Amino acid sequence: MTRPTLLITGGAKRIGARIAHRFGAAGWHVVIHYGQSRADAEALAAQLPSAECVGCDLADPDAGVAMVEALAQRLEDWRILVNSAAVFRYDDARAMDPDVFAEAMTVNAQTPTRMAQAFLRHARARAGRRVIAITDMKLANPNPDFFSYTMAKHALSATVRMLAMGAAKADDRIYAIAPGAMLPSFDQKPQEHETSGRMNLLGRLTDPAEIADAALFLADGWLASGETLFVDSGQHLLAQPRDVLYLARGG
């Protein structure tokens, strides 16, 4: 294996799949993590020049750590961990759902953080290593919808600078990418997304390929460790009282 390697959690679909395609085209060996989407992961891997699939339930943090440790034992040049997988279930500021909260905090915050720590302890790389957390523009532009999800993304965001300060080596970088509305989400219909996806300063649909391009840019480590890139056409600079899904639906 002469190619540098990256692991993408939730890499079989949506943003994770876009990142997989981008890095595959750039000459990387792509490890595609899946939870329940094995068929999609294998189909994606078959399209890439160099790829493999690994399965793991991220609701079990110990399983996520074990997956990282097993990969670290056999990958000789593992440079990037992209924590893209997430759960997105509804509750709101009036009544947090304890079950939704517990799942969100585990899958969206605890497991990716522990995986990042294990990666930084064990991964071997011929150049500086990178951890890239996919967060959300809700960090800067919160609203009361998807309350537990947003809390968990804030928790994950808080780890980026802390890991950069306390877990990384001098040539490592810890980053986050904060996307805005760019794919239909939750129970949204495609035509509804055409409206909600333009609720940003530029009035445009943000292409998911821009997230993949941002991740490839961060792979070179041009930014200082601990930084977050917002890729949302300026959505995080607006004041939005609800999730754009509901703003669009309500007219």
Which CATH number does the domain housing residue 217 bear? 3.40.50.720
pLDDT digits (tens, 9 = 90+) for 26-74: 999 999 999 999 999 999 999 999 999 999 999 999 999 999 999 999 9
Domain extent, residue 60, equals: 5-249
Q: Are 141 and 181 a contacting pair, CB within 8 Å?
A: no
When divided into structural domains, the chain yields a total of 1
pLDDT tens-digit readout, 176-230: 999 999 998 888 888 899 999 999 999 999 999 999 999 999 999 999 999 999 9
What is the reported pTM?
0.96
